[in-house]
Structure 1
Amino acid sequence: MLDINVPIGSTLKKIRENKGYTQQEISDHKMARSTYTKVESNDITPTLSKYLAILDHMDMSHEEFIFILNDRKLGEKETILHLFKQLEKNLTRESVNQIINKGETLVKERYDQLTLDILNACRGYAVLLAEQDLTKAKGYAQNVWKRMENLDSWYLAELHIINSILYLFDSNTAALFTDRALETLAQYPHFEEATTLKINFLLHVTNLLLLDKKYEQALFYIKQLEEESVRTESHIMWAIALVRKEVCMTKTGDVSEPGLIDRAIAIFDSLNKQNLKELVIKDPENFFNLYSNYPIDKIEAEILAH
């Protein structure tokens, strides 16, 4: 995290000059050129509206500007949040432990609630990966939920946290939370982050519903997972959806779409994911389910690796 008193003017000037813009073009109608000149010389700090207008005229996002201002490095908290989001694509013991180590270092230096939540979520994941102990993991997840349950609204950061502790709840409650999350994520149609979150909520809720053998209810979410995976060309998630779809359809006596698991195996063959292929053949019902008594060490490096 940057010191809020870090002068931004010299960085704005360098970016503007590199892009070939004049001070007049950047100041435009939002402020006088003389005012913008004072911003670049660090004589004044722009208001939020003027700051955003400057970045807009420079064709730059706030995130990119802060990254450049910080010598093209993420701050401590930003690094932890970035790594935490990456767990949804590649959940391994190594990545979880890396976040725990960085998070513990940060909270020793200063109080940060989001980092504390991430720490507890990752400690729960660590238990699931190392011990497959769902009950013990729920203890860490409960610490996170104590804060989340009092929030009126969930934004993207909170949704990442909720997604990571969905196993805390019974499958019906998890389904209700998933519905609420999907409604919120629909408000972020242009955010790739929201798409990843949507897929992962659908993956997690079907994990829980399959464990409870609620096959009809699971199918409702699996079909959404299939549709979203096809739309985003997320091939491994599509294959997982196909496996789960055939499992649920078979359990409910629906034989209208035979060969779905074979299609999933063909996808794994095409991606050279032989380990996943073997796991499907061995136990399709519990395939890729972090919450079952599954040999996690055999698939942890494969989880959501595209």
Structure 2
Amino acid sequence: MFIIYSILDYGKTFKAIRLSKNYEQSKVSVGVLHQSSYSKFELGNIELTTKKFIDLLHNIEMSFEELEFIHHSYDYSSRNEIIYKFTNQKFLDETLLLEIIASFKAYLNEKEDRYIRDILTASKGLYELKKNKDFKKASYYAEQVWYRIQKSDTWYLSDIRLVNCILFLFPIDTALYIDQFAISQLDKYKKYDNCIKLKLPFKYNLVHLLLKEEQFVKAYNINEELILDFKEQKTYVQMALCFLRKGLLQEKLAIQDTKNFVVYAESIALLLEDEDLQKQLENEKLYLKELMNV
């Protein structure tokens, strides 16, 4: 069952945080509202305006994201949990996609939510690709999401995360436009925490698209950039996948190298004792060999 919360529901959480910080009510409510009104808020007897709610957050030195996480017993809300599962998939997994689709449908039975509906549509497309290898039908679902997002002249982080997950389902010209526009939008977030981690997946998915379009030299060059980026970020799973691509691209382009980067990729999985990564590398190697005809 999905529960929809209002600001009213957060009063008890504010109280718990305030007491743990050894703050008096007057300390938290100062400059925002009378102490008596704040007391009623903690008891769940009054609603607050959004501005007052934000001002109170500042007074307890906390972001809304952290407050919400604490409010749900140090866990994600039901909505954020399924969004997190969707946007943080390392690999396409049929079982996980079916779980995500079921969760989104259950949520939408409780409350209409455009973003959740978009992710549900995207998930259906990814499932068609993984389960049935039906790229045409998968692209159909992606286009439904794109139909809404392309009308916006500004993309926010939720939009950017969503389109990145389905970037490789678009024709190359559309995908290149999405990639360039998304990165330009992310430039606004340079000072935002972990902005670079949002940019890199776009480049990673772009390499996949270029491989499909047989633009191997361009794919190789961007993959080289990604290896340096992931090395700097110390994200070794992504490095392993990029090493695999590099090794196969060198074979395709007849680039001589003393290092065998396919072996490098497999060695990372072995050293990390990551069986999921080993399996993914095996599947990816078979897929890329067929895609690149090597």
Is the pair's TM-score, using the shorter chain for normalization, greater than 0.5? yes
* SS across alignment from 2:68: helix
Match of 2:200 in 1: 199
Q: Does 1:174 align with 2:165?
A: no
The correspondence of residues 95-106 of structure 1 with structure 2, limited to 5 A, is 95-106=96-107
Q: 1:256 to 1:141 in 2, by over 3 A?
A: same
Match of 2:116 in 1: 115
Amino acid across the alignment from 2:11: G
Identify unmatched segments of 5+ residues in structure 2.
none
The correspondence of residues 1-306 of structure 1 with structure 2, limited to 5 A, is 2-4=4-6, 6-30=8-32, 33=35, 36-37=38-39, 39-42=41-44, 44-70=46-72, 74-87=76-89, 89-186=90-187, 187-192=189-194, 194-255=195-256, 258-273=259-274, 284=285, 286-287=287-288
Aligned length: 290
Distance 1:39 1:165 in 2: 42
Q: 1:100 to 1:43 in 2, by over 3 A?
A: closer
Amino acid across the alignment from 2:49: T
Distance 1:11 1:278 in 2: 43
Amino acid across the alignment from 1:166: L
Moved more, 60-69 or 34-43: 34-43
Higher relative contact order (CA 8 A, sep 6+): 1
Distance 1:278 1:35 in 2: 58
Amino acid across the alignment from 1:128: L
Distance 1:264 1:180 in 2: 31
Q: Any conservation in 2 of the 1:100–1:119 contact (CA below 8 Å)?
A: yes
- TM-score normalised by L of structure 2: 0.82
Q: Any conservation in 1 of the 2:240–2:266 contact (CA below 8 Å)?
A: yes
Taking only the aligned residue pairs, the percentage that are identical comes to 26
Q: Any conservation in 2 of the 1:244–1:285 contact (CA below 8 Å)?
A: no
> C-alpha deviations, 1:208-241, integer Å up to 9, x for none?
1112210122133212321221122111210111
1:77 Cα deviation from its structure 2 partner:
2.5
Q: Any conservation in 2 of the 1:10–1:40 contact (CA below 8 Å)?
A: yes
Moved more, 94-103 or 34-43: 34-43
Q: Any conservation in 2 of the 1:80–1:115 contact (CA below 8 Å)?
A: no
1:171 Cα deviation from its structure 2 partner:
2.4
> C-alpha deviations, 1:116-144, integer Å up to 9, x for none?
11111111111121112211211211221
Runs of 4+ in 1 over 6 A off after TM superposition: none
